[in-house]
């Protein structure tokens, strides 16, 4: 279940009442394990998983499963699993683990509670995908607007360009010689503020390059160790 910890806590709180926890007969652990695996496998959206350690007679795990996001990569980590186990009082519990430690636990009163949990998780996935699609549409509109502006400037000022877009930045490459291109990063979050100044920025950088300047932005920690800094006092 690929959800943040606070979401799992909320889902456990909302879907498991804890009013009538199911008792577990430890002597019948193997039969109970088969029974619960069959019931969990019958829930749409669930993928039952396995671990060799669960066959150990000392194991408290009756069934492991994940709730994969439809259409997403089906690979999972052990921390994505939910485990149906029994606690010290031989009560059926559903546990969520993080780094081999139980992070969230809920007393299970019926398989319907698990079914409701799966339903709610799948709804969260659906809402998240809808939000991502909306986000992508907005980014695409912004990217198209930048490309239209750059294409107009390129025709008027006669330069070739290329672009690469990711979720956060549009990288604009303006060719200045057959061998060299200037790279300009345009953060999507600052799209409205920067777009009107794009022509000014491209013209200034091309002019500086033509005059002989060569430049790039580096992190302060990447400045050579033997460089001599001159610190200016600021009031």
* Mean pLDDT per 10-residue section of the chain, whose length is 235 residues: 88 94 92 94 93 88 92 76 93 89 92 96 94 87 84 88 85 90 88 86 91 86 87 74
- Give one DSSP letter per residue of 89-110, joined into a string: TSBEEEEEEETTEEEEEEE---
What pLDDT is stored for residue 235 in this prediction?
A: 62
Q: Which of 26, 167, 149, 18 is nearest to 88 (CA)?
A: 26
pTM of the model: 0.70
Q: Which of 182, 157, 3, 22 is nearest to 82 (CA)?
A: 3
Count of beta carbons in the 10 Å neighbourhood of residue 174: 22
Question: CA 137, CA 152: separation in Å to the nearest integer?
Answer: 23
What pLDDT is stored for residue 108 in this prediction?
A: 96
Question: CA 216, CA 225: separation in Å to the nearest integer?
Answer: 18
Count of beta carbons in the 10 Å neighbourhood of residue 99: 7
Question: How, if at all, do strands 181-187 and 161-165 pair?
Answer: unpaired
With 0-12 / 13-18 / 19 or more C-beta atoms within 10 angstroms meaning exposed / middle / buried, residue 30 is exposed
| Domains in the chain: boundaries | 5-131, 159-222
Rounded-to-10 torsion of CA 61, 63, 69, 71: 130
């Amino acid at each position: 279940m690929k959800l943040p910890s606070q979401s799992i806590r909320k889902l456990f709180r909302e879907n498991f009442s804890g009013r009538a926890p199911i008792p577990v007969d430890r002597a019948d652990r193997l039969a109970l394990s088969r029974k619960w695996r069959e019931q969990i496998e019958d829930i749409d959206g669930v993928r039952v998983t396995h671990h060799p350690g669960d066959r150990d007679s000392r194991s408290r795990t009756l069934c492991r499963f994940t709730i994969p996001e439809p259409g997403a990569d089906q690979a999972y980590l052990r921390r994505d699993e939910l485990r149906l186990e029994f606690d010290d009082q031989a009560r059926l519990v559903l546990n969520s683990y993080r780094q081999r430690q139980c992070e969230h636990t809920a007393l299970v009163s019926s398989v319907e509670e698990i079914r409701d949990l799966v339903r709610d998780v799948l709804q969260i996935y659906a809402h998240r995908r809808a939000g991502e699609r909306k986000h992508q549409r907005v980014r695409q509109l912004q990217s198209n607007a930048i490309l239209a502006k750059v294409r107009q400037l390129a025709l008027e000022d006669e330069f070739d360009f290329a672009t690469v877009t990711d979720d956060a930045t549009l990288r604009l490459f303006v060719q200045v010689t057959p061998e060299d291109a200037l790279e300009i990063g345009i953060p999507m979050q600052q799209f409205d503020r920067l777009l009107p100044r794009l022509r000014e920025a491209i013209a200034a950088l091309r002019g500086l390059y033509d005059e002989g300047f060569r430049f790039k932005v580096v992190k302060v920690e990447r400045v050579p160790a033997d460089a001599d800094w001159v610190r200016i006092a600021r009031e």
